[in-house]
Chains A and B, each alone.
Chain A
Amino acid sequence: MDILRFTTAGSVDDGKSTLIGRLLYDSKSILSDQLEAIKKSTKNNGNGEIDFSLLTDGLRAEREQGITIDVAYKYFQTSKRKFIIADTPGHFQYTRNMVTGASNSNLSIILIDARNGVTEQTRRHSIISSLLGIHNLVICVNKMDLIDYSETIFNQIVEEYRTFASKLDLKEIEFIPVSALVGDNVVEKSDRMPWYKGKSLLHYLEEVQVKTGSELNFSRFPVQWVIRPGNNGYHDYRGYAGKIISGIFKKGDDVFVMPSGFNSTIKAIEIFGKDVEEAFAPMSVILHLSDDFDVSRGDVIVKKDNKPKVSTDFEAVVCWMDTRPLKKGNKYFLQHNSRLVKCVVKNINYKVDVNTLDKLKEIDSVNLNDICEIKIKTASPLSFDGYKRNRANGGFILIDENSNITAGAGMIKD
Chain B
Amino acid sequence: MEKYFLSYLDILEAEAIHILREVAGQFERPALLFSGGKDSITLVRLAEKAFRPGKFPFPLVHIDTGHNFPEVLQYRNKLVSKLGERLIVRNVEDTIKKRGLKESKGKNASRNALQTYTLLDTIEEFKFDVCIGGARRDEEKARAKERVFSIRDEFGQWNPKLQRPELWSIYNGRINYGENVRVFPISNWTEFDVWNYIKRENIQLPEIYFAHGRNCVVRDGQLLALSEYINLSDDDIITNKKVRFRTVGDMTCTAGVESNAGTIDDVINELKLSRTSERGETRLDDKTSEAAMEDRKKAGYF
B-binding residues in A (CB < 8 A): 1-3, 31-34, 37, 41, 55-56, 58-61, 63, 69-75, 77, 82, 84, 96-97, 99-100, 103-104, 214, 216, 224-225, 227-229, 232, 234, 237, 239, 241-243, 245, 248, 271-273, 280-284, 297, 321, 333, 335-338, 391-392, 395-397, 399, 403-406, 409
The segment from B112-120, B156-164, B207-215, B262-270 that touches chain A is B156-164
Out of A82, A99, A234, A397, name the residue touching B53 (CB < 8 Å). Answer: A234
Q: Which residue of A lies closest to B280 (CB)?
A: A33
- A153 to B196 alpha-carbon distance, docked (Å): 47
- Given known contacts A74-B144, A75-B190, A406 and B22 CB-to-CB distance under 8 angstroms: no
Say yes or no: B22 contacts A338, CB within 8 Å. Answer: yes
Q: Does B107 contact A (CB under 8 A)?
A: no
- CB pair A96–B18 under 8 Å, yes or no, is no
A61-B8 in contact (CB<8A): no
Cα separation A33 to B281 with both chains bound (whole Å) = 8
Contact with A along B190-204 (1 / 0, CB 8 A): 101000000000000
Q: Given the complex of chains A and B, what is the CA–CA distance between A63 and B190 in angstroms?
A: 24
Taking Cβ atoms with an 8 Å cutoff, the residues of B that contact A are 4-8, 10-15, 17-18, 21-22, 24-25, 48-55, 57, 137-138, 140-145, 160-161, 163-170, 172, 174-176, 187-188, 190, 192, 274-277, 280-281, 290-291, 294
B145 touches A99 (CB 8 A): no
Query: Can you spell out 9 A-B residue pairs with CB atoms less than 8 angstroms apart?
Result: A70-B161, A70-B163, A72-B145, A74-B138, A104-B167, A229-B54, A242-B18, A321-B165, A405-B164
Q: A337 contacts which chain B residues (CB < 8 A)? A: 169-170
Bound complex: CA A71 to CA B22 (Å)? 22
Check A397–B170 contact: CB distance below 8 A. yes
* CB neighbours of A280 from chain B (8 A): 4, 6
B191 to A, closest residue via Cβ = A75
Give 4 closest A-B pairs by Cβ, nearest first: A58-B141, A33-B280, A284-B17, A224-B21
Which residues does chain B contribute within 8 Å of A242, judged by CB atoms? 18, 21
A58 and B142 within 8 A (CB): yes
A225 contacts B21, C-beta separation under 8 Å: yes
Whether the Cβ atoms of B50 and A241 lie closer than 8 Å is yes
**CA of A216 to CA of B3, assembled, Å:** 11
A214 to B5, CA, bound (A): 11
Question: How far is it, in angstroms, between the C-alpha of A201 and the C-alpha of B230 when the chains are bound?
Answer: 50
Residue in A closest to B201 when the chains form the complex, CB atoms: A272
The residues of A that contact B187 with a CB separation of less than 8 Å are 73
Residues B168 and A82 in contact, CB atoms below 8 Å apart: no
Assembly CA distance A82 to B7 (angstroms) = 10
Do the beta carbons of A75 and B188 come within 8 Å of each other? Answer: yes
In the bound complex, what is the Cα–Cα distance between A122 and B137 (angstroms)?
Answer: 28
State whether A96 touches B165 (Cβ < 8 A): yes
Determine the chain A residues whose CB is within 8 A of the CB of B141 once the complex forms. 55-56, 58, 72
When distances are taken between beta carbons in the complex, the residues of chain B under 8 Å from A333 are 174
Partner pick for B14 among A60, A232, A282, A405, CB 8 A cutoff: A282
Closest A residue, CB atoms, query B48: A272
| CB pair A31 B275 closer than 8 Å | yes
Chain B contacts for A82, CB-based, 8 A: 8
Minimal Cβ-Cβ distance residue in A for B277: A31
A59 touches B160 (CB 8 A): yes
Check if B10 sits within 8 Å of A227, measured CB to CB.
no
**Is B15 a contact partner of A397 (Cβ separation < 8 A)?**
no
Given contacts A225-B24, A227-B54, 16 further A-B contacts (CB under 8 A): A34-B277, A37-B280, A58-B294, A61-B161, A73-B137, A99-B165, A224-B22, A229-B53, A237-B53, A282-B6, A283-B14, A284-B49, A396-B170, A397-B172, A403-B176, A404-B172
Q: Hey, which chain A residues are within 8 Å of B169, CB to CB?
A: 104, 243, 245, 337
Residues of B within 8 A of A399 (CB): 172, 174
**Chain B proximity of A211: nearest CB distance (Å):** 11
Whether B276 contacts A243 by the Cβ 8 Å rule is no
Selected contact of B280 from candidates A31, A55, A273, A395, CB within 8 Å? A31
CB distance from A213 to the nearest CB of B (A): 9
Complex contacts, A61 vs chain B, CB 8 Å: 160-161
